Structure 1
């Protein structure tokens, strides 16, 4: 195990030992020898959210709202421990089972960190990273809020908010933080959902909503009253989130 991987594993162990939440991966035991460290974690057979939506190729808005609300509640719990995850993305949201209504667990706390005034480390995954991280500015827990906005954008459109021919172009667009809703698929998404995404993905952190404010958004009140079996949205023929599976920033 490399020194960098070992550091991330130790960090993950330290943080997971503090946490106990139904939507966070649970650490049961740690085994260590001279060459490796092994963690005993929850068994999650449903795969990650990236794989789930690649298989489904369609979602409905009320289901996305329910998942998003649970994800924000999870981040609000992390806030009580003053912890930022710093790598929220589809691949780090694991489904407990293969059922359509499966619950999820947030995983991979290797980059998680106690929030402090001097956080400037460049980390996360291109396409999901808050612009202030890419600009080298000091940042706080709102970086996770931005990443949740990226997740919601993808779930409702089947597209990456910052698409590029290569990682360099993705990072450049991600740094600028400019998003658009011109694709036809957005014609079938509610105005409340689009407003919600805009507030979460505000490039300026001082103007971006925090987790608590995001949970009060009217999108939830409207969508969670609806039947989750209705109004499925078919993503168009240009459906492509393949660039989501990219390498993390170093």
Structure 2
């Protein structure tokens, strides 16, 4: 008797999960179309590509909202501050306009950068939890390793703020995207492959989806001139897709490896590594 009552419930749950997955997989194409139809600015495209699916996955996977949001916040504040300041300062990339007017934190950082990174990390985590993760422990558990993530990210933020106050010209770091990408993106992916091989399959599946989403978002945003890469000399090379040029580092470290690296950090600092 228990099998007769449980099996239909499992079947319905699996059907709902598959329907949700199909919707999320198709959404980047829809978001791109809407972006072109409305000639979207940065914030509207962020909402279309990241906020809409993030809200949907929050609805279907409510129990992971707090954990995903906390992890995303811890990552966003230091990473967006340091990376965007240096990249804007060196003209590696540049956002020509903001819905917040002329305000830029420390003279360079737009608020949209914080919104984008938070939603990107949050969406990566919620996609992983909704479709790929297997729960091994009870809900409501604490995450003691998060304090080490906080320390690991707060320390370079503190150094950045000290250097900014003392002599901001020292933050004009050439080839910063390459250096940051090797140390903070490629290295965690290599660690994942060799130290947590049981997770590689699931995380790389998420990586395939976010490669698709991120590539469509990048091409859409650049076609709409939402941002640009003025100082091409800050990169080791440029790639061209559908006539849209952007740095090799952008393609390799963010579009290809960004979600994989995010989940490597997530599993190590905020999940069960299983």
Q: TM-score, normalised by structure 2?
A: 0.26
Name whichever structure is richer in helix by fraction. 2
Q: TM-score, normalised by structure 1?
A: 0.28
Which is higher, the Rg of structure 1 or of structure 2?
2
